[in-house]
Chain A
């Protein structure tokens, strides 16, 4: 049995991997998101966002309120391309 501590379930990332990126000098939410894909899965960061903010705050000695979040882009949930294109789902 692995003893991994998963931070982002959608992208299967452990907190150890994220701490490695922080140690390598990736210190903003956006940088970590781009290098690791954290928060880019089906739930769009709803589970991991809070944990990543805390990790970044701890590593930099900042208050969580000082950590900038990444941009919130639509759509807020997975949606079929067919729906956006207006294709009838039943066709």
Chain B
């Protein structure tokens, strides 16, 4: 077993939250180590070819992969940041040591502070033959196409009319692939109107109040059965339809990746709006364990712009806890918190605001 030179702050995850956490901590004078499982930094941003909304500070009108390039370059060139790519955090141990697998070798690091920015995993659906080859998560299909340049098949049915389902459907169409149906269990389309109307204009039917009943195929997916459901989620008889497809894409939400926080002993609470169990934390994103922070989707499913601001808040505060950048901390923190509140305004922020309210109630019960 080998150990890595101790670092002030260990950041797990090189996506939007982790990159910003590393930059803001390092700018305050702390030494940060950023670990990323993939060979490249950027997380999900590297495959996002659509433009961002939000404010100018959060890269509005820029495309996701461009934001990833800008932030990755800044992180790589920062004298206070060490980047470990091809590195997975394996576990958090009682003596506050974190085990890492770096290029298939085992290391242990004992940071003064930890920021968990591991992101989220895709949810799956259960139905007969849901394990047939050809059934993918929508994020996986986006990676295949936009990172590796591989088309997943010829005819793709999408499950889920939220932003991910609709944006990936559009990108499939751009790649010349047929999308004969988007199937959504809710009675309404969850995606932003601008994305949904684009795929509708291109002739893709969106079946709301519908679900997949079964997949069929010998060695791989050949056909699906789907049907209308009523408000009790029961199949409306006679509404069953068959559709020949070689790919079924599942975009039914994400679950925060939190194993390391459970292992660290953070107080965890189940918040439906956030996609599952998340850590209780204060307004600086510090969990119930001193100097253990969470940022981005790992703390509750939201989106990349708010993940970046959360990363900054966690990075600034972790640095301040270790005595770095105390002069500018209060001003920078309050700017970032204002920015976050702005991003969460309006109807699109409603789910997050409701989740935060439940989180704060759970925090009062726990304390």
**In the complex, which residues 40-91 of chain A have their Cβ closer than 8 Å to any Cβ of chain B?**
44, 46-47, 49-51, 64-65, 69, 71-77, 79-80, 83-84, 86, 89
Chain B residues at the A interface, C-beta cutoff of 8 Å: 1-2, 88-93, 99, 101, 104-106, 121, 123-124, 126-131, 214, 216-218, 255, 257, 259-260, 262-263, 269-270, 272, 276-277
Chain A residues near B (Cβ < 8 Å): 1-7, 9, 15, 44, 46-47, 49-51, 64-65, 69, 71-77, 79-80, 83-84, 86, 89
Measured CB to CB, the nearest residue on chain A to B37 is: A77
Main secondary structure of the interface of A (DSSP, over half): loop
Assembled-state Cα–Cα distance A76/B91 (Å): 6
Query: A83 with B104: in contact, given A9-B131, A74-B93 (CB under 8 Å)?
Result: yes
| Whole-angstrom CA separation of A49 from B124 in the bound complex | 11
**Min CB gap A91→B, angstroms:** 12
List residues of chain A with CB within 8 A of the CB of B128: 3-5
Q: Which residues of chain B come closer than 8 Å to A51, judged between CB atoms?
A: 124, 126
Contacts A51-B126, A64-B272, A74-B93 known; list 16 others, CB within 8 Å.
Answer: A1-B217, A2-B129, A3-B128, A46-B121, A50-B255, A65-B272, A73-B91, A74-B92, A75-B90, A75-B99, A76-B88, A79-B106, A83-B104, A83-B105, A86-B1, A89-B105
Q: Is the CB of B126 within 8 A of A7?
A: yes
Closest to B88 in A: A77
Name which residue of chain B comes closest to A69, CB basis. B277
For the complex, give the distance between the alpha carbons of A74 and B95 in Å: 14
- A72 & B262 in contact (Cβ 8 Å cutoff): yes
B126 contacts A15, CB within 8 Å?
yes
* Given A44-B259, A84-B1, A77-B101 contact (CB < 8 Å): yes
Contacts of B277 in A (CB 8 A): 69
